[in-house]
C-alpha cells in the first residue's frame, strides 16, 4: 500500500471515531434545564420584611437567594456587622456573620437567642477586607425558635481589652423573610 492511501485511511478512520465520540457525548448530556424564573420574569428581586432583606438573583440560569441584615455606624455610614443566611436546605439554615476587626479570633463567638444559648465556641473562618467571617448553621429547632424570637445576640471578645463585644440582631420580620426566601428559591 502506498503512503498516500494509508494516510487517507487513517484520516477517514480518525474522522469516523471523532464523529462517533461526539455523537455519544451529545447523547449522554441531559436536556438543557429550563431556566429558573423569578416573579414577573424579573432578573432580581429585593424585598424588605421588618429588619430583614430578601435578595434573589438569576445567575447562569440558576437562582441565588439569601436573607440578610446589615447594621452600620450611624455617624460614619460604614457597615459594622452583617448576617447572610441561605434558604433552608437539609433541615437547616446556613450562612455567614461578618464581624468587625479587633476581636479575639481565638476566643470565637457565642450566639444567644432571647437570652438562651444557641452555640458556644463558634470559630471564625477567615478575615477579608470588610471584616472577619463567622460561619453559622442553624438546625430546624433553632430556626423555629428564631421565627418566634425577638433578638439574636452574637458576642465575642475585644482583642485588646478582652471585654465582651455584642451585636444584637433584630428578628423583626425574620419569619416573613424566611418564608419568602424559601418560596422564591423553589
Give mean pLDDT, residues 8-32. Answer: 35
- Judge contact between 56 and 177, C-beta under 8 A: no
Query: Of 94, 184, 85, 77, which is closest to residue 139 (Cα–Cα)?
Result: 94
Q: Environment class of residue 5 by beta-carbon count within 10 Å: exposed (0-12), middle (13-18) or buried (19+)?
A: exposed
Residue 99 has pLDDT above 90, yes or no: yes
Under the banding of pLDDT at 50, 70 and 90, the label for residue 23 is: very low
In the structure grid, which three cell numbers stand for residue 135, read together? 460561619
Q: Is the pTM of this model over 0.85?
A: no
Beta strands in 3-123 (DSSP E): 44-49, 52-59, 62-72, 79-85, 92-99, 109-113, 116-122
The confidence score (pLDDT) of residue 7 equals: 31
Residue 30 has pLDDT above 60, yes or no: no
Q: How far apart are CA 44 and CA 69, in angstroms?
A: 18
More confident residue, 31 or 112: 112
Residue 68 has pLDDT above 50, yes or no: yes
Residue 18 has pLDDT above 60, yes or no: no
The confidence score (pLDDT) of residue 35 equals: 55
Amino acid at each position: 500500500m502506498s503512503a498516500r492511501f494509508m494516510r487517507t485511511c487513517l484520516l477517514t478512520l480518525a474522522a469516523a471515531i471523532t464523529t462517533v465520540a461526539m455523537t455519544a457525548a451529545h447523547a449522554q448530556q441531559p436536556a438543557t434545564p429550563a431556566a429558573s424564573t423569578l416573579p414577573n420574569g424579573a432578573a432580581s428581586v429585593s424585598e424588605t420584611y421588618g429588619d430583614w432583606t430578601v435578595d434573589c438573583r438569576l445567575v447562569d440560569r440558576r437562582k441565588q437567594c439569601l436573607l440578610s441584615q446589615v447594621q452600620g455606624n450611624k455617624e460614619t455610614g460604614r457597615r459594622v456587622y452583617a448576617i447572610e443566611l441561605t434558604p433552608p436546605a437539609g433541615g437547616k439554615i446556613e450562612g455567614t456573620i461578618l464581624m468587625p476587626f479587633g476581636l479575639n479570633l481565638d476566643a470565637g463567638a457565642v450566639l444567644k437567642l432571647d437570652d438562651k444559648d444557641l452555640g458556644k465556641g463558634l470559630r471564625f473562618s477567615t478575615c477579608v477586607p470588610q471584616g472577619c467571617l463567622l460561619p453559622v448553621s442553624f438546625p430546624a429547632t433553632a430556626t423555629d425558635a428564631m421565627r418566634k424570637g425577638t433578638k439574636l445576640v452574637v458576642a465575642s471578645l475585644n482583642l485588646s481589652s478582652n471585654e465582651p463585644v455584642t451585636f444584637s440582631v433584630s428578628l423583626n420580620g425574620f419569619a416573613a423573610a424566611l418564608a419568602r426566601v424559601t418560596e422564591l428559591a423553589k
